[in-house]
Structure 1
């Protein structure tokens, strides 16, 4: 799963376009513990005030986290105020326009290969089972955070994974973006089946009937005039459809 929402990742990439901020991020990320402004400034050859400005900008953009801690093992009166320290919020930052989620595809495929090697059986069946279970887990987590209403958090989950859900006007959802577009183009039989299983699991985890997930062939969608380039070949049917 992506650590930062897509808009935050785009902002983080833009922030890291500054050479000084990129150097500071690399230093903080590679450090074994949280670092002070003075240590970061010395490491990259910047004035303390300049380093402080860039470090706080990286915090604002979600790339770094701040913590306050007294240094030197001293405590009590006279030990001084806690120091402001920085640590990496993410190990890496990646973004694409439109949003893609190739990390999720790779994780599902590798997990399925590992399970198939350990358990045997059809690689396709193991992949679909793995994708469904991962979707269900993500759906339950989102539903627990969103509240008790059936379907709570489902659209938010789809948006977080890059599907760009949009109301179809009848109570269902169109998925305007395919998070796996490039690999689906050459391996639709595998990737689209995996995608359908993941969405089915996510729907079930959010309390939505799995049957509402309609995983169509992209050619079928095009024949219906409902598909645009880069659009997901699945859609979420209205309740009772």
Structure 2
């Protein structure tokens, strides 16, 4: 699935700036089961209509979800209408500046561990897992403008994953989404990074480009550049 947009994630978190809304969200998420509007209102000591307004706003922003259930446990005629209940949404909401993708790094490395346990050398396993991940995100990206340059098409995909591409005669990646772990495990993470970007390039069919390690700048250690002619 395409990554949720940065602006959408910021909007979600911004909805918690209101103290009443934040208190209601915290109350709902701390309960073992979904709660009604009245339960939430009583829990944070606000009027029912105020609770309803803020709870529904949290639903609109994707932070809470609703379900309908009879709280009495009865069914059939005379059991009454089901109550609207609120509970926390399963999706995680996270914002970081600069953009980081430690979830992506974790998924690649977990795949690599599985391959290694099956007998593949660990370095080969990391490269294969990263290539596959890069190919997958390129395949899942929205339709690409075939009129755009190869560098622009690769940059469009990498931008969705936090690389902050700068296009000129080559593609410079101004941000490393794996910065913190790259600082501690440089060789492993930079190799993974190169293979991931290579997977994107290959999946897009940009055969005139290569993902090259070029450490030394304050930016990502990988650059995408035209292949040298033989």
* CA apart distance, 1:158: 1.5
Give 2:175's match in structure 1, choosing from 174, 177, 200: 177
Q: How many residues align?
A: 222
User: Cα gap change, 1:182/1:70 in structure 2, threshold over 3 Å: closer, same or farther?
Assistant: closer
Which residue of structure 1 lines up, in the alignment, with residue 143 of structure 2?
A: 146
Correspondence for 2:212 among 197, 212, 215: 215
Confirm or deny: 8 A CA contact 1:6 1:160 kept in the other structure.
Answer: no
Contact 1:69 1:85 in 2 (8 A): yes
Q: 1:216 to 1:56 in 2, by over 3 A?
A: same
Is the Cα–Cα contact under 8 Å of residues 211 and 222 in structure 2 kept in the other structure?
Answer: yes
Give CA-to-partner distance per residue, 1:21-59, whole Å, 9 cap, x none: 334334555678876544543444432222233234434
Change (3 A) 1:141 1:24: same
TM-score after normalising by structure 2: 0.74
Q: Spell out the pairing of 1:1-241 with structure 2 (5 A cutoff).
A: 4-29=4-29, 37-64=37-64, 88-117=88-117, 119-142=118-141, 145-146=142-143, 149=146, 154-168=154-168, 170=169, 172-209=170-207, 212-219=209-216, 222=217, 229=218, 231-238=219-226
Residues 23 and 127 (structure 1), Cα distance of their counterparts in 2 relative to 1, 3 Å cut:
farther
The CA distance in 2 between the partners of 1:54 and 1:120, in whole Å, is: 53
- Shift of the 56–205 alpha-carbon distance from structure 1 to 2, 3 Å rule, reads farther
| Cα pair 1:29 1:91 within 8 Å, conserved | no
| Preserved CA contact (<8 Å) 1:37 1:48 | yes
User: Which one has the largest radius of gyration?
Assistant: 2
Contact 2:64 2:86 in 1 (8 A): yes
Deviation by residue 1:162-202 (Cα, 9 ceiling, x = unmatched): 1112322x3x4321111111111121110011011111112
Q: Secondary structure at the match of 1:146?
A: coil
Query: 5+ unaligned residues in a row in structure 2: which ranges?
Result: none
Q: 1:88 to 1:208 in 2, by over 3 A?
A: farther
Residues in 2 aligned to 1:34 and 1:240: alpha-carbon distance in whole angstroms: 60
